[in-house]
Amino acid sequence: MKPSRRSLLYKTIPLLLPVKAQAHASEQGLVLLLPTDVYTGAGVAAVVATVLLLAFAPAGLMRRLFASLPLWRWRPGVWPEITSTLSFLFLSVVVAAGFLGPRDPLANPLPLTVWTVFWVALVTLQGLFGDLWRWLNPWSGPLLLLRRVLGPWPVYRIRGTWPGALTFLAFAGFLLADPAPSDPDRLATMVALYWLAMFFLACVFGPRWLRRGEGLTLALTAYARLGVFARRGGRLRAGLPGWQIATRGAGAGLALISVLLLGSGSFDGVNETFWWLTRLGLNPFEFPGRSAIVPQTLLGLILCNLLLIAVLALSLWLGLRLARSGMTLTRAFILFAPSMLPIALGYHVAHYFTSFLVDGQYALVAISDPFLTGADLLGLGDFYVSTGFFNTTDSVRRIFLTQAGAVVAGHVLAVLVAHAIAVRAFGGHRRAALSQAPLAVFMIAYTLFGLWLLSSPRF
């Protein structure tokens, strides 16, 4: 797949050394042979069509579209804390495995748990279904337990959600810029320290810290707002993905994390393109490794987020002018930024789909034999991890269309959600459509950008 050869180190050697190009043409090479411009055109057209249809849609459509269905009365009681405690125990075991288990990140359960099961799979499920993280986070259970044992103690009040935004950015920085985020030893240290720090702060600031100060909970709680299921008024309800955002106001924290999720996710795609490496003055075929570009990656992450905030703010400002609305820009930002969440989730699915297909297999092997005792709990038999689906035109086309489908679906949903918010905020259907015009242009452009990311040369 990935070519390279000759690092910058070579430049210090006066000899001209013949080197080998280990260049896999597969997958991205096959993608370049696909009619991706046709697929991209179709994807952008779908988003444009959604925008146009909404401009002429009857006023009550949005309310009906995002109406939710009451299912049954539901009080989880203390159960989420019990499962959270179990999750904490599980995390302790895999962190121990990180320190003591095999050194290979594809055999050690910790990197597979953190990056494949949690960050790729659980985040996706959270966005599709609802707040699973409430049941699975490793802090709320132990915290409750401690408070039960010691009795409640006075806590400080946490103001705003900026600590959560900062810890999320720190997490994204580790994921994207750290030279070895999958190294079992290193990851075990990071996970243990992060858990301890967040637990300590949750003791100081109370359980509210987890929702406002802990970046992962902030991010996952935001994604839960996209999910089909949610509890409202003691009752479990189900609706079209995004119904919770479309029908309920948001706070500044949700707005900020929504943009950070999209900005960081987008940069996670950009930083793999030859375009980005060329910007850094690197030849992608001589890529010197992550350790050589740590500051550049961190800077890129921050710039990408700032750029997204700026472009979104500009679109909203233009929309307010067009609709002759007296709403402040801050208010509009808080209202509309959560409509970025479906796009962010679409990118998340598209970006990680290929790695999940591979690492998911390693995770299966690890689950089937968690303690390397030779067990075969899942009955896999003699199981070889395969990447054959990257090597044939048909399977690569199916993978590409799945990814492109996720990106386009995310944008279509985002257009719908933003329009529903606008109808609610501006009352009139026509004013809503006017206010949405610049944002719609932004989303169409973003669709093009997302599909370009998928089809451009990259690692």
Partner 1 sequence: MTDTKTTTTRRSALKTLAGGAAALPLWARYTHAQTAEPIKIGFQVHSTGIGAAYGRWYGRTTEAAAALINEAGGINGRPVEIIAEDDGTDPRRGAEVVEKFANQHGCDIGFGTLFSHVVMGSAPRAGELKLPYFVVSEGHHVASGALNRWTLQPGITDVKSQVTAMAPFISGTLGKKVTMIYPDYAFGHDHRDNLKPAIEAAGGEVVGMIPIPPTETSFTRYFPQIPRDTEVLYHVMIGPAVLTFVKELGEFFGPSAPAIFGFIDSLEAVDLSSPGLEFLDGTYFWEGMPRYSQGNNEYDAFYREKVGVDDNGASVSDPSDVSTYAHMFGCWETLHIVKAGMEAAGYSGPGDRQALIEAVEAMTDMPQSNEHPQGAKVFNGKTHQVFGHQYISKVEGGRLNVVHTASIEDGMYPDEVDYTTMSF
Interface positions, 261-280, toward partner 1 (CB under 8 A): 274, 278
Residue pair 128/227 in contact (Cβ under 8 Å)? The answer is: yes
Query: Is the distance from CB of 232 to CB of 65 less than 8 angstroms?
Result: no
For the segment 297-316, give every residue that binds partner 1 (CB under 8 A).
none
Pick the binder of partner 1 from 311, 321, 376, 398 (CB under 8 A).
376
Tell me how far, at minimum, the Cβ of 345 lies from partner 1, in Å.
25
Question: Would you count residue 365 as binding partner 1 (CB under 8 A)?
Answer: yes
Shortest Å, Cβ 195 to partner 1: 23
Q: Which is nearer to partner 1, 25 or 197 (CB)?
A: 25
Of 49, 52, 67, 372, the residue at the interface with partner 1 (CB under 8 A) is 372
Task: Name the residue nearer to partner 1 (CB basis): 75 or 103.
Answer: 103
Q: How far is the CB of 215 from partner 1 (least distance, A)?
A: 24
Question: Considering only 83-91, 101-109, 224-232, 261-269, which stretch makes contact with partner 1 by CB under 8 A?
Answer: 101-109
| Contact pick of 93, 211, 286, 298 for partner 1 (by CB under 8 A) | 286
Q: How many residues bind partner 1 (CB under 8 A)?
A: 79
CA 275, CA 385: separation in Å to the nearest integer? 31
Residue 374 engages partner 1 in binding (rule: CB under 8 A):
yes
Residue 174 or 195: which CB sits closer to partner 1? Answer: 174
Smallest separation (angstroms) from partner 1 to the CB of 297:
13
Confirm or reject binding of residue 328 to partner 1 (CB under 8 A): no
263: its two tokens: 């900005």
CB 449 within 8 A of CB 265: no
- 13 is a site residue for partner 1 (CB under 8 A): yes
Comparing CA positions, the residue from 40, 22, 25, 12 lying closest to residue 451 is 40
Which is closer to partner 1, CB of 278 or CB of 330?
Answer: 278
Interaction between residue 77 and partner 1 (CB under 8 A): no
Looking at beta carbons only, is 261 or 293 nearer to partner 1?
Answer: 293
> Residue 382 interacts with partner 1 (CB under 8 A)?
yes
Q: List the strands of the sheet with 229-232, edge to edge.
A: 69-73, 235-238, 229-232
Taking CB under 8 A as the rule, does residue 295 contact partner 1? no
Q: Which of 90, 162, 174, 285 binds partner 1 (CB under 8 A)?
A: 285
Q: Which stretch binds partner 1 (CB under 8 A): 3-11, 126-134, 158-166, 337-345?
A: 3-11
Of residues 202-241, which lie at the interface with partner 1 (CB under 8 A)? none
Closest approach of partner 1 to the CB of residue 60, in Å: 48
Of the residues 74, 79, 371, 449, which one makes contact with partner 1 according to CB under 8 A:
371
Task: Please say which residue, 99 or 129, places its beta carbon nearer to partner 1.
Answer: 99
Asked if residue 26 binds partner 1 (CB under 8 A), the reply is: yes
In sequence order, what are the residues at sequence separation of 6 or more whose Cβ sits closer than 8 angstroms to the Cβ of residue 185?
Answer: 98, 99, 103
| 379 scored as a contact of partner 1 (CB under 8 A) | no
Q: Say how far apart CA 260 and CA 267 lie, in whole Å.
A: 10
Nearer to partner 1, 92 or 395 (CB): 395
User: Which stretch in 42-50, 59-67, 141-149, 282-290 sits in contact with partner 1 by CB under 8 A?
Assistant: 282-290
- By CB under 8 A, what part of segment 389-408 binds partner 1? 389-395
Q: Which of residues 32-51 bind partner 1 (CB under 8 A)?
A: 32-33
Q: Tokens 């057209």 label which residue?
A: 45
Instruction: Output 205 or 274, the one with its CB closest to partner 1.
Output: 274
